[in-house]
């Protein structure tokens, strides 16, 4: 594994770019949202465990709410669909070179449903 100093700044900058496009598109719809890099470790700044990092998408569709983590149960199906589409568009507005990111990023060889049961071997 590459030392944190080499992959974390690049990954952070790519997520920042995606967040900029994603949040701008949601604001244009009268909503609010953000894409952020989240580390499940207790010491975020010193963490070198790539497998502990995740992308968190937080959204707000109503004025009387705070930003909430996008989950399969909190938002409606339509809200989740809109967020998924906007996230994909945000990835493509400013091309992010996935091949330069650590780990495996790529497209499946066949279409997959959005709500995949992780216990099922596809």
Ordered by start, the domain boundaries in the chain are 4-100
**pLDDT tens per residue, range 39-71:** 877 665 557 677 778 899 999 999 899 999 998
Per-position pLDDT tens, the chain of length 122: 445 567 788 888 889 999 999 999 999 999 999 999 988 776 655 576 777 788 999 999 998 999 999 988 889 999 999 999 999 999 886 555 544 544 444 544 455 455 555 555 54
CA distances from 120 to 47, 51, 115 (A): 31, 21, 11
pTM strictly above 0.85:
no
- pLDDT on residue 8: 80
């Amino acid at each position: 594994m590459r030392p944190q100093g080499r992959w974390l700044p690049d990954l952070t900058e790519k997520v920042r770019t995606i967040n900029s496009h994603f949040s701008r598109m949601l604001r244009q719809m009268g909503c609010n949202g953000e894409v952020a890099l989240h580390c499940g470790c207790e010491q975020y700044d010193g963490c070198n465990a790539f497998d502990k990092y995740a992308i968190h998408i937080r959204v707000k569709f109503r004025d009387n709410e705070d930003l909430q983590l996008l989950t399969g149960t909190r938002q409606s199906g339509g809200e989740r669909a809109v967020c998924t589409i906007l996230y994909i568009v945000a990835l493509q507005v400013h091309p992010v070179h996935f091949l330069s990111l650590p780990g495996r990023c790529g497209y499946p060889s066949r279409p997959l449903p959005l709500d995949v049961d992780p216990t099922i071997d596809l």
